[in-house]
């Protein structure tokens, strides 16, 4: 590849990223300026498989290794916006997958802890996040339905796989005033995005609309 090819490739991605912001995010209700800035800053093309780079800014989930997916950009932005982050928070992401969501979160929060049950994906994400300089992200390999007790408590917990119910460890590992953003529903049918906010020891639940995710598998999730 020549220098001018590299330049035009960079231009193509930044143009596609601007179009994503305009058509897929702002037009669909993503208004948080910090979230829009993070979505503009993270190169999604680095987190998809080489054959899917050209589709990196299409508003859809894409396959990654191990039969998993990188979430749709709108969904990532929607969950980040719903978490109401100001920059000072310690955040837990369940389902690291490609590492893309963790990279976006790393620009929105002080510290990000992300956990993935498939070791191969966790290792790929760790290497990638490190190479791209997302230094406030800690990657774990384990059953994320148990949370990450050694790093708790968290100000926000973002679950990027579909749960059958709210895992109790997330409530136990949440700070007062903290938010849990989690899709809950059937294993192979759509889920409802829920926001739980802990206020004076009680959970306030809001329904944020319908989404579709791969299942959250583990002790407090679906069986495998």
Which is it for strands 154-159 and 111-116: parallel, antiparallel or unpaired?
unpaired
Which span (4-12, 172-180, 182-190, 216-224) binds ligand SAM, by CB under 6 A?
A: 216-224
Q: Is residue 153 reached through a cis peptide bond, with omega within 30 degrees of 0 on the bond before it?
A: yes
User: Rounded distance, CA 101 to CA 106, Å?
Assistant: 9
Name the segment binding ligand SAM (CB under 6 A); options: 38-46, 170-178, 185-193, 211-219.
211-219
Question: What is the C-alpha separation between 151 and 170, in angstroms, rounded?
Answer: 12
User: Which residues have a Cβ under 8 Å from the Cβ of 171 and sit 6 or more positions away?
Assistant: 180, 196, 198, 203
Closest distance between ligand SAM and the C-beta of residue 7, in Å?
28
Catalytic residue among 8, 71, 88, 98: 71
Residue 145 binds ligand SAM, judged by CB under 6 A: yes
Q: Quick one: how far is CA 17 from the chain centroid?
A: 17
Among 100, 134, 154, 196, binds ligand SAM (CB under 6 A): 100
Terminal alpha carbon distance of the chain: 44
170 binds ligand SAM (CB under 6 A): no
Q: For ligand SAM, which is the closer residue by CB, 4 or 106?
A: 106
- Our answer to whether residue 4 is catalytic in this structure is no
Residue 104 neighbours by CB distance under 10 Å: 26
The site map against ligand SAM for 42-81 (x = CB under 6 A) is --------------------------xxxx----------
**Rounded-to-integer distance, Cα 102 and Cα 98, Å:** 9
20 binds ligand SAM (CB under 6 A): no
Enumerate the active-site residues. Answer: 71
- Positions that interact with ligand SAM (CB under 6 A): 68-71, 94-95, 97-98, 100-101, 115-118, 121, 143-145, 160-161, 213-214, 216-218, 221
């Amino acid at each position: 590849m020549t220098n001018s090819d590299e330049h035009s490739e960079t231009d193509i991605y930044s143009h596609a990223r601007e179009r994503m912001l305009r058509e897929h995010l702002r037009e669909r209700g993503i208004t948080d300026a910090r979230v829009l800035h993070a979505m503009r800053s993270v190169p999604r093309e680095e987190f998809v498989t080489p054959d899917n780079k050209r589709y990196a800014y299409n508003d859809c989930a894409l396959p990654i290794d191990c039969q998993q997916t990188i979430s749709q950009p709108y969904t990532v932005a929607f969950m980040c916006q719903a978490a109401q982050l100001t920059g000072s928070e310690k955040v837990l992401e369940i389902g690291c997958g490609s590492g893309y969501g963790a990279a976006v979160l790393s620009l929105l929060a002080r510290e990000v802890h992300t956990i993935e049950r498939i070791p191969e994906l966790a290792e790929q994400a760790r290497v990638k996040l490190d190479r791209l300089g997302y230094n406030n992200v800690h990657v774990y390999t384990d059953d994320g339905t148990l949370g990450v007790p050694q790093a708790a408590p968290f100000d926000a917990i973002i679950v990027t796989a579909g749960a059958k119910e709210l895992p109790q460890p997330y409530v136990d590992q949440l700070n007062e005033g903290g938010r849990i953003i989690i899709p809950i529903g059937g294993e192979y049918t759509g889920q409802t995005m829920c926001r739980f906010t802990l206020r004076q020891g009680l959970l306030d639940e809001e329904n944020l609309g319908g989404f579709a995710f791969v299942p959250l598998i583990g002790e407090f999730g679906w069986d495998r």
